[in-house]
């Protein structure tokens, strides 16, 4: 194979990420690359919340179909968009170095922090996870649903009269917009999404390219992704449910903090665990959340019952 066809979403951020990966493929593997941009269902439908139309998997399905139909050889995903399960014929071959996994506050008043926002401040986010934790920390905030790519969300800060928007630090950094970050929000306030800040490189499982792409994997990024995705899988989570997890290397093993929350933030169940194996640490953290009452929260959310 002389040219690797890289399937990617067509957003500005996705193209920036895929271009970076293409550079790594060329430098480390000596292979040529070409991007195959795709506008997914999740990108096309902007006026409805993701939870109502199928979740973040809508950013992934058509890209995976391009791999399965051999229209592409490699797919680049934001790992936080991936469902817990991968199609049997595909494999997540590599997780390159992780960017800052924290959430970012971008405020109208430069230098503001979440704690500083005026009472009743209007904060834009399209994430149930962010909304629940923000309301737990500041119940007075008004959460304004927000969809669109990063530049669109930044423009809405002004056009929709918002006091702030919350985005991923990683996305802003990859677009060269890190200077717009007013606060890198501590995990104690906003625990990140599963695998936030991590890219996932997916190939066909039977393609010899998979072994070569594996050389691009960073052990720390792969370990944290394994731990956090194990947490997600055990809770059978999706974007309808405010779920968060954050894994850190600790003492030769992994410590995982996780939570599940009611959408209004009034009830947040947290748990953590440590283990030598990242997958085991993620599952143990999920079990801790379930044992502390997370099972009841999940059941209520899935039934559609009010908190």
Q: Is residue 190 part of a domain?
A: no
Is 224 domain-assigned? no
Pair 64, 175 in one domain: no
Q: Would you say residue 22 lies in a domain?
A: yes
**Residue 93 to residue 101: CA distance in whole angstroms:** 20
243 CB neighbour count, 10 Å cutoff: 29
pLDDT tens for 67-94 read 999 999 999 999 999 998 899 999 999 9
The answer to whether residues 165 and 34 belong to one domain is: no
pLDDT-based confidence at residue 221 (cuts at 50, 70, 90) = very high
Q: Looking at the predicted structure, is the pLDDT value of residue 52 above 70? A: no
- CATH number, position 60: 3.40.190.10
Q: Are residues 174 and 211 in the same domain?
A: no
Q: Are 101 and 246 in contact (CB under 8 A)?
A: yes
What are the C-alpha distances in Å from 169 to residues 162, 179, 212, 225, 269?
Answer: 19, 10, 29, 17, 25
Which tens digit of pLDDT belongs to each residue from 158-182?
Answer: 899 999 999 999 999 999 999 999 9
306 within domain boundaries: no
d(CA 11, CA 147): 13
How many Å apart are CA 106 and CA 262, to the nearest integer?
Answer: 25
Per-residue pLDDT tens digits for 85-129: 899 999 999 999 999 999 999 999 999 999 999 999 999 999 999
Query: Lowest mean pLDDT: which of 36-45, 80-89, 263-272, 275-284?
Result: 36-45
* Owning domain of residue 40: 3-95+198-217
Q: CA 253 → CA 170, 198, 275, 289, distances in Å?
A: 25, 19, 6, 20
Look at residue 245 in the predicted model and tell me its pLDDT: 98
Q: Is residue 223 part of a domain?
A: no
Q: Do residues 12 and 83 share a domain?
A: yes
Domains contained in the chain, number: 3
Do 8 and 77 reside in the same domain of the chain?
yes
As a whole number of angstroms, the distance between CA 296 and CA 236 comes to 14
Active-site residue, selected from the candidate residues 81, 163, 238, 262: 81
Q: Which residue has the tokens 């850190």?
A: 248
Q: Is residue 39 located within the same domain as residue 181? A: no
Alpha-carbon span 142 to 165, nearest angstrom? 11
Q: Are residues 62 and 117 in the same domain?
A: no
pLDDT tens column, 195-209: 999 999 999 999 999
Q: Could you give the CA distance from residue 181 to residue 106 in angstroms, rounded to a whole number?
A: 5
Active site residue 206: no
Based on the domain organization, do 118 and 168 belong to the same domain? Answer: yes
Q: Evaluate if residue 46 carries a pLDDT over 60.
A: no
Residue 192 inside a domain? The answer is no
Q: In which band, very low, low, confident or very high, does the pLDDT at 2 lie, cut at 50, 70 and 90?
A: confident
């Amino acid at each position: 194979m002389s040219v690797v066809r890289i399937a990617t979403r067509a957003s500005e951020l996705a193209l920036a990420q895929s271009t970076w990966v293409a550079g790594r493929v060329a430098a480390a593997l000596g292979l040529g690359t070409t991007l195959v941009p795709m506008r997914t269902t999740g990108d096309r439908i902007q006026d409805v919340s993701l939870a109502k139309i199928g979740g973040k998997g809508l950013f992934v399905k058509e890209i995976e179909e391009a791999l399965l139909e051999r229209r592409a050889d490699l797919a680049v995903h934001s790992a936080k968009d991936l469902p817990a399960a991968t199609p049997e014929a595909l494999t997540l071959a590599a997780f390159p170095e992780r960017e800052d996994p924290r959430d970012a506050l971008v405020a109208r008043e430069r230098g503001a922090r979440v704690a500083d926002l005026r009472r009743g401040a209007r904060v834009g986010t399209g994430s149930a996870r962010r909304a629940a934790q923000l309301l737990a920390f500041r119940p007075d905030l008004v959460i304004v649903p927000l969809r669109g790519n990063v530049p669109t969300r930044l423009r809405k800060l002004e056009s929709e009269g918002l006091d702030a928007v919350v985005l991923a630090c990683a996305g802003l950094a990859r677009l060269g917009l890190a200077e717009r970050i007013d606060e890198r929000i501590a995990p104690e306030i906003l625990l990140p999404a599963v695998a936030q800040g991590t890219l996932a490189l997916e190939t066909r499982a039977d393609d010899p390219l998979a072994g070569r792409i594996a050389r691009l994997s960073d052990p720390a990024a792969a370990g944290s992704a394994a731990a956090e995705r194990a947490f997600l899988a055990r809770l059978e989570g999706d974007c309808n449910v405010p779920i968060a997890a954050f894994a850190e290397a600790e003492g030769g093993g992994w410590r995982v903090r996780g939570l599940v929350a009611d959408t209004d933030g009034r009830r947040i169940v947290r748990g953590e665990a440590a283990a030598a194996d990242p997958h085991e640490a993620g599952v143990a953290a999920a079990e801790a959340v379930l044992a502390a009452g997370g099972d009841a929260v999940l059941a209520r959310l899935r039934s559609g019952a009010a908190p």
